[in-house]
Each structure stands twice: as C-alpha cells, then as structure tokens.
Amino acid sequence: MSAEQNPTPSLSAPRPGVSAWWRALSILLLIVILLAWAAATSMTTQLQAQIEQLQARLIQVPQIRQVSVLLDAQGRPAMLATFNPQDRALTIQRLNEVKEGREDSMQVWAISGDQPPRSLGIIESRYKTLQLPVDEPALKEVTELGISAENKGGVPAGAGPSLPWLFKGWLVTKSI
C-alpha cells in the first residue's frame, strides 16, 4: 500500500475555539456572583447590627411587673399604680381631679391580708403622674394598695393610716 492511498489524519487540524461571547458571558456571571456575595455579606452584617440595637432597646423598655387601679368610694378609677423593678419605682397616675388640701398629704400604703398596712411613701406632687421610690421586696406578698388622706407630712414611721381609705385597689402581678 502506498502512502497516497491511506491518508493519515492530520494531527494539527484546527480545533474549534471558545467564542468571545462565551468568555464575556462567563466574566459577567463571575462579576454578578461576586456582587451578590458582597451584598449578602453586607446585608447579614446590617441585620446583625439591627438585632443588637433592638435587643439593647428592649432592655431599656420599662418592664411593668405589677399594676393596680385604685378606686374611689363610688367604685370609679381614681389612681393607676404601676411598678417597674428596673427603675425601682412605683409610678402613680391620677385618673381623677382629687387633690390634697393645704394641710393634708396623700399617703400610699401596701396592704398584705391581715397584717398592718405599711407606708410606701407620700404623694408630694400635684402633677398627674409621679414616681415613688420602692424596692421590689416592699411589694412582696402585697395584695392591695391603698391611699389615705393624712395630716401634712404623713403619719409617723411605724404607725398605720389614721383616716379612712380615699382609694383602694388590688395589686395584680403580671406574668412575664
């Protein structure tokens, strides 16, 4: 057989090349993937920062643990008392227009069943809302709050209310 009859395939035949469009498309897709990764990383960081900020704000929000609506002799709401253990304060809001006279003071009392009432303090402000400093143990086992009208400055330490209750209401502990 002669070499002319059996042609050998040429090893140097040109291979089809990758189109310039495919190269551009792959580079474009790589850029899009990198931008998506950067955006996802940025959004994750921002979300984590927002969660931390909201958690910090939640700690600062007053956590009212106990609440009482004190009623007058006719059964109408007269005072709203709320206790926030973070502030260690009993916030009292007037719901009516009753104010103490020049020679009187309103004194707040903690009532625990058949034990004698304990003074929590004197309402010294004529504003609609005020705070009395109260520690959480002072309200332990307290079932009711009462307000009495006393002589200016309140009753002496250790003494009970000398006049009848102006306002009285159950102290309700919220579940957390």
As given in the structure block, the two tokens for residue 165 are 């209750």
As given in the structure block, the two tokens for residue 53 are 């900020």
Count of domains for the chain? 2
The per-residue pLDDT of the chain, averaged, comes to 83
Based on the domain organization, do 56 and 71 belong to the same domain?
A: no
Percent of the chain with pLDDT over 70: 88
- Pairing, β 66-71 against β 104-111: unpaired
Other CB atoms within 10 A of residue 8 CB: 6
Range of the domain at 29: 19-61
Based on the domain organization, do 109 and 165 belong to the same domain?
A: yes
- Check residue 158 and give its pLDDT: 74
Are 109 and 149 in contact by the 8 Å Cβ rule? The answer is no
CA dist., res. 104 & res. 125, Å (int): 12
Query: Is pLDDT above 80 for 17?
Result: no
**Side chain identity at residue 38, one-letter code:** A
Per-residue pLDDT of 77-118, as tens digits, reads 999 999 888 888 899 998 888 777 677 888 888 898 888 888
Based on the domain organization, do 126 and 139 belong to the same domain?
A: yes
Largest separation between any pair of C-alpha atoms in the chain: 138
Are 56 and 69 in contact by the 8 Å Cβ rule? The answer is no
Domain annotation covers residue 7: no
**Side chain identity at residue 35, one-letter code:** L
Based on the domain organization, do 87 and 108 belong to the same domain?
A: yes
Based on the domain organization, do 111 and 167 belong to the same domain?
A: yes
pTM above 0.75, yes or no: no
137 alpha carbon, distance to own chain's centre: 22
As given in the structure block, the two tokens for residue 77 are 């709401």
Across the strands, what pairs with 6? none
Query: Is pLDDT above 70 for 62?
Result: no
CA dist., res. 161 & res. 6, Å (int): 126
Among 5, 32, 61, identify where a domain stops. 61
Site of tokens 């040109």: 14
Rg (CA), the chain: 39
CA dist., res. 91 & res. 84, Å (int): 8
